[in-house]
A and B are shown apart, each in its own frame.
Chain A
């Protein structure tokens, strides 16, 4: 399995309640061999970073469909750095306009996934970066 022994946190920051994308990716990552933890809805960046560190994950995937990705990502990145956990790879998925992708990468995001990407493409990219 490509993602054997990898620990991955899938998180829903902020108030957005659309969790299907997060769950579909969580199921696909599990099928690819990863140990997946899902936070459930409405988690603060602080809470997400705490779980990421406590659970010693290799990657955090944030699912955001509310348009608040810039603010929420900046918050999570800053908190990971403060906790000396900058080595945890951060990915973002959801409704992210093309124009914002470069800015998110500059802010420290390893990859941006949108709903029309194939699942196998998403998994392959995560695998490439985690192994």
Chain B
């Protein structure tokens, strides 16, 4: 079944000569000398904080001007239970909401669909229509918080729903702040919530981004994410390389659809994982920030300094956490938070220590939040901008990471670009191969993981402690609400809005967004809107390779 082209170049980050010393090489395959001397460090232009090429950060005053946004991802079960959790988090000092949606909502199925029933409310909240969104944000003033949605395949629809809720709350659209992930390219590679074929998806994203720039100028309509590719198996350099390659593909698409790069680039944002290698993570962010600014200036002639600023959020944890001895994860997340902040992140999400095996409890979620507050207010790392800047190791490794990221981007370019690499399944196979290598390295002990291959316990218990229990009534409750909405709404009006949506999808150049907002206001469901678009665009045919 494996039909990966054998003549494709293997990545050079695969060790040529295995080293026995796990300390000698970073996870991205960069060999590190025992001593780095001043003459080896900082050959590339570093510049000042807040100035091109932004190696030292996008703001001249670092976190002294404004601390990063503490943004915890949460959402489960029904809109009512999630609304309660949001109020709990806001009450305890969280400054932004992050909405986790269930898989039916992410993949475009209504809760009553046979594909959906076993997954309603499982990994996030079920949000099938405007009535649910009204409950979700009940009592929360949308003009005073920023809301981040981890949503991709149905991002344009969920964004339309957010606008409709704001309209109903009477909040002017230009007051809305937040982010939709809206990055479909990495869904095909790693996360799997694609719906439409690649090229139609790119059009939908361009429509939503250009519409958002005009309607909600303070809202980030796309967050180009390397996090999922990373968590699936890619190393830090590949994470950044694939993400910047995807970023350029979006820039090309938005330009082709009439966008002004000096304008839309200001609202592009990025999203990454932070795993455990502290200096490599810091170097990854510094190198990525510098490279993005240079690419936009050199390739697209971007002149507006604000459009060159590489803004990113991060998540700490994920596959760097272990189910074995889970309390150790608290320490891991603490170190990763330091890396995120010393790398200059604009927002940070810290995973709860029990997230390797369950939805966090209130206790574990609170520890994750406190971890950030300890780093922010006790550690002192926020005191001066880019505190690791000028360290021989940091500057040397930043240069090496930039070289490696550039090489990976060129490899994708040489293949024919990201869209082709995804349609062929090439990137997907690369990630699977990388995941297998990482697993084998963990099994053999070549990659050290405390609790798993160092300092193991005889008994393989997870010491879970308090367990989160999902309400078994969720599906019934969500279904009842759904049926009530279907009975109460004006079905003729819904039918008309859906027809207009489909007609717009039939054209190549009419923006889809106004129709989606109209559908949401009429209480059309996510499943219905997706069905109307599928009727015109079809579905992605997954290249099945491993």
Contacts and interface: CB of A to CB of B under 8 A. Distances in A.
Nearest to B2: A30
Contacts of B439: 24, 119
Contacts of A68: 118-119, 122
Given A36-B1, A118-B443, A20 B435 contact: yes
Contacts of A36: 1, 546
A48 to B, nearest CB: 13
B419 interface: no
A17 B191 contact: yes
Nearest to B76: A67
Interface in B111-148: 114-119, 122-123
Interface residues of A, number: 39
Contacts of B302: none
Nearest to B429: A23
B119 A66 contact: yes
Nearest to B357: A97
Q: Counting chain B CB atoms within 10 Å of each CB, which of A18, A19, A39, A116 scores highest?
A: A116
Interface stretch (B102-110, B249-257, B374-382, B406-414): B102-110
Given A98-B461, A119-B439, A66 B1 contact: no
A41 interface: yes
B2 A18 contact: no
A18 B107 CA distance: 13
A120 B349 CA distance: 34
A97 B359 CA distance: 11
Nearest to B322: A116
Contacts of B233: 20
B190 interface: yes
B440 interface: yes
A81 B107 CA distance: 30
Given A38-B544, A71-B118, 8 more contacts: A15-B106, A15-B115, A17-B193, A20-B190, A24-B439, A37-B1, A42-B115, A67-B359
Interface of B: 1-2, 103-104, 106-107, 109, 114-119, 122-123, 187, 190-193, 232-233, 322-324, 356-359, 431-433, 435-436, 439-440, 443, 452, 461-462, 464, 467, 470, 542, 544, 546
